[in-house]
Structures are given as structure tokens and as C-alpha cells.
Chains A and B, each alone.
Chain A
Amino acid sequence: MDTIGLLSALPINELVFFINKVVIAGLIIGSIYALGAVGMTLAWGILRFANFAHGDLMTLGAFIAFMLTMAMPGLGAYVGLPTAFVVLPIAMAVTALVTILIDKTFYVPVRKTNPKPITLVIASFGVMLMLQGLIRLFFGTAPRQMYVGSKDIYRIPFAGRDIVITEPQVLLIVFTVVAIVALHLFLTRSRTGKAMRAMSDNADLARISGIGTAHVVRVTWIIAGSLAAAGGTLLAMDVSLKPDLSFNLLLPIVAAIIVGGIGQPYGAIVGGLIVGFTETVAVFNWAILLRPLKPHMPDWLELPANLTFVPTEYKIVVPFVILVAVLIWRPNGIFKGKVL
């Protein structure tokens, strides 16, 4: 049987619907979670505290990219890419700088007192609220469009139907893959990257080995801040830009980190995809997939129009459930992270 013949044996409509609604959607939101979680887990492992302002660094990065886009809207047309994507490196650099300044201004003075980790977490809550307030103060609360003009939509023909993916979604996936490969090479090949892993493994031993901890901390914030800016901007390009954009991401990101093991960047990537896919599978309407089976079902079995595990409006419950389940059955996460 040739491929077309095999495919025609499958319910194509439903399969394509599943690819569009679960595979692509899960990949998109999973990539966003992964970009946020990688930076936060690195900082968590090295500085031994959960930086709750991380979500709002994502929003901040997106707003910086938004301002740059508004300042030079025509820029993207020159290279044939969305302007927001072209200015992304600048937004990442600025956000990284802001992250370092936040550390110097708010976290370093606390760290000097040799605090319990929870003290720094509370400090980060303060920074989070401050960032949220500042963003609302300057940009208001209305949603904004990151796109100059309309989004390109790609339709990939698949056995007579179309798999639909938009330009920002393609850019997001490509960027995430490139960023992960680059981060992997950095952490395994470069001297500073290895020192980061060493400090995350055992900070005292890193100091005894003569590793300059201030330098490692700075590089960690640069990576965390720039990846946060990238995640925020790419998400805002896919949906729209709102001041509460990434505050809603914080819980899934923390869930992704715990699933992957605290301080484990690869775990955070896997965790991000797990949380992303679980969410989309949970809110997916399975009735549509079951419809082709209708003729084979007994008559008394009514197929409801809407058959989801979790109603869409309760989506945020999913990462929460994952978080609780992992903490109960595998508190170190799948990649054996730290217990802090």
C-alpha cells in the first residue's frame, strides 16, 4: 500500500485537526514555557532562590521589543522578517542589563546578609509587583499588537487538508531550537558555562576551586534575562501584548522547572514541553476525534458535543495538578534536581 493509500484509510480531517490543535499548539506553548523555565531554573540552581520576577522580565522584554518596533516599524520589511523579531536581540540585551541592575539593586544587598532562600524569594515578589506596576504605569492595560501589518500564515498541504502554522510560530520554534543548542554548547564546552554548572552543583566547592562567583552570577542573569525577553516577545507576537502576559506563565513555568528538576536546564526544556502538551491535550475536544467512530458505537452511547478533560477556562489547573503530582511522587523532578 502506498503512502496516499495508507493515509486515505485514516480519518484525515480529524488527524489534521489533532495536529493543528494539539501537536502544533502544544509545541508553541511548550516552547514558550521552555524558554522561560530554562533561565529561571539556571538562576534558581546557581543563586538558590526562585526568582518570581522572572515572568515579568518576560513581559518587560516584550514591551521593550514593542517600543523598538514602534520606533522603527519599517525595519522588518528590509529583511523580510517581522520587525519585532529583528529588534529582538536589542530587547534581549536591554532586558539582560535590567536583570543585572535588579540583582545589584535589590538582591545583592539581601544576599550580603547571608539570608535564608525564602528571604530572596520574598524580595523577588517585591520586584515582581514593582515591574508589573511600572509596566502598567507606562503602557496601560490595553492589549497591543506586536505586528506591523498582518501575520503570514503558512498552510502545509497534508493529504488534501492544511496544517496551519503562522510566521511567529515558525520563528518561535526555530528560535527555541537554536537557543537550546547554543545554550547546550555553552554549558558543556565553554569555561564559564562549566563554571556555572559547577556553581549550581556545589557553590562552596566552586569557591574553593577559585571560581569567581560574581562573574558566574552575572552571566547567569544575562542568560536568564535575555531568554525571558525572547520568550515574552515571541509569545506576544503569536498572541497579543498585555501587561499580564507572563504573570499567567509563572505557574506553568515553575511547574516545568519542578518537573524537570530544579537547576536542570535540560529538565526545564522537557518539563516545559510536558506541561505545554498536557495543557493542550487536557483542553482538547476529544469528541471531534471520536466522531468517526460513531457508527461503531452502540446507539445508547451519546457523543457529547464537547468532550474535554478540563474546560478551557480552567486550563491553569493543569500545571497546578502536574506540580502537586510531581512534588508528591518525584520531588526531585525527572532529571534529579536539587531539593531546596
Chain B
Amino acid sequence: MRDIHAGYGGANILNGVTIEVEAHEIGVIVGPNGAGKSTTLKALFGLLNVSQGSISFDGKEVTNARPENLVRAGLSFVPQEFNVFPTMSVRENLEMGAYTRRDDFRYLIEKIFEYFPPLRDKHKQPAGELSGGQRQMVAIGRALMMEPKLLLLDEPTAGLSPRYMGEIFERVIAINEAGVGILMVEQNARQALAIAHKGFVLAGGKNSFTDTGQALLDDPEVAESFLGGGTKH
């Protein structure tokens, strides 16, 4: 996406954000609260009106496209909150992710159970009864059911214990190694940038720094302003 200006109807929250991720890369968006990180993902996924700039995906122009069409084009989105169907079982949650598929997708459910083994035992349990970390697994699993080319994750580790946080990051890397591009917003900037091919530091609805993940970690200025203290090696 290039030079995106977008908002919720009132004043724009995004005033020129440019995000570019190659296929099979992990991109990480970090920045202070209110920088427009989540808004960027929502704008990408057609959930709010983009007034200026353009978004292209897989060579096609998709600015302000409808979410259902983006899903078909190979883009999946995992919101930060309310990202499962709480009264539906884990398996049904995954089936809903594949709603637009007409083929037999049972092998995909198997694949997701391989990514997230705890879900296999709990496949009949309502997703709302799971722990936060397992709910996050269901949410990511649901998004993977369309076999997306690019997965958008909005703070997948928010509110999780360090144990689950590490597990989610590990899974994100595994999913990426299986060929799925990732673009995620993260509060745990240091850990997220460590696994990122590309990093984007947003502030005030604009790009502040854009570089490889490692380069941003090493940049003393980024560390000073956004990562809380000097660089650690």
C-alpha cells in the first residue's frame, strides 16, 4: 500500500502510510499507541474508507475492496479482539474460515491441528471456553483456512502470557516458512522485529522508519524513541 490516507469518517487517522511486503515475507508494524497501526490493517482489509492513496495486492488494485472479495483474492485478517465465534466449537470456527470454499477442506483442518496441537483435543469445545492463547490459535487457524497468500495479524500476542507469546511467535514463523506472507502489528516490538524481514515504525499516522527488522533493532534512534531504551545485544 502506498501513501494511504484513511479514517473513520471524521479526521483521518492515517496521513500517508506506505507499507510494502514481498510475498513470503514477515512484515511487522510497530509504533506507539494511537500511531494508526491497527487502522492500517483495517484500511488494507477494506474495513474503513481509504480517501487517498492506493492498495495493491498480488499485482491487482484492491483499494476499498469488499472484505469478502479480499478473502477470495487470498488475504486473511485476524482482528485483535473478538476474533473467534465464542459459542461455536473449535472445528466449526475453522469451518467458518473456509465458508467461501466449496471443496473438501478437511485436510486443511488437519494441517491447522498440526500447527496448533492443543486445538486437536479441544476441537469439540466452544471457542469461548478456551484460554486466551488457545483462542488466538483458533483465530489464526480460522484465517488460514482460506490458504491465504498474506495473513494480517493485529497484535496476536496482546494479553497473552510469555509462554503463549513465544509459542505464537514460533507458529507465525512456521506459517511463514510454509509460504504464507505475514503482516502483523505488534506491541512487543523487540521480539516481533527480531523475526521480521521488514519493519515499519509508525507515528502519528505516518511512516517514521522503514527498514529490515534487524536494521531497525540496531538503529539507536528507533531504540531510543520506540523500543524503550538503548539497543541490547
Contact = CB atoms under 8 A, between A and B. Distances in A.
A191 B92 CA distance: 10
Interface in B153-211: none
Contact of B85 (A191, A202, A210, A212): A202
A239 interface: no
Given A191-B99, A197-B87, A212 B82 contact: no
A208 B100 CA distance: 11
A321 B71 CA distance: 48
A8 to B, nearest CB: 49
A319 to B, nearest CB: 26
A194 interface: yes
* Contact-residue bracket for chain A: 10 to 19
Interface in B64-92: 67-68, 71-72, 77, 79, 82-88, 92
B68 A207 contact: yes
B88 A201 contact: yes
Contact of B96 (A194, A204, A212): A194
Given A205-B79, A205-B82, A205-B83, A211 B99 contact: yes
Given A194-B92, A204-B79, A209 B99 contact: yes
Contact of B79 (A201, A208, A210): A208
Interface string A107-121: 000000000000000
A211 B146 CA distance: 12
B82 A210 contact: no
B91 to A, nearest CB: 10
Nearest to A45: B87
Nearest to A191: B99
B45 A204 contact: no
Contacts of B142: 209
B96 A195 contact: yes
B24 to A, nearest CB: 23
B146 A210 contact: yes
Contacts of A202: 82, 84-86
Given A204-B82, A210-B99, A210-B100, A197 B88 contact: yes
Of all A-B residue pairs in the complex, the 4 with the closest CB atoms, nearest first, are A210-B71, A201-B85, A210-B100, A210-B68
11 contacts: A191-B99, A194-B92, A194-B96, A195-B99, A197-B92, A198-B96, A198-B99, A206-B96, A208-B45, A209-B96, A211-B68
Interface of B: 45, 47, 67-68, 71-72, 77, 79, 82-88, 92, 95-97, 99-100, 142, 146
Interface of A: 191, 194-195, 197-198, 201-202, 204-212
Given A191-B95, A204-B82, A209-B71, 6 more contacts: A191-B99, A197-B92, A201-B87, A205-B82, A207-B67, A208-B67
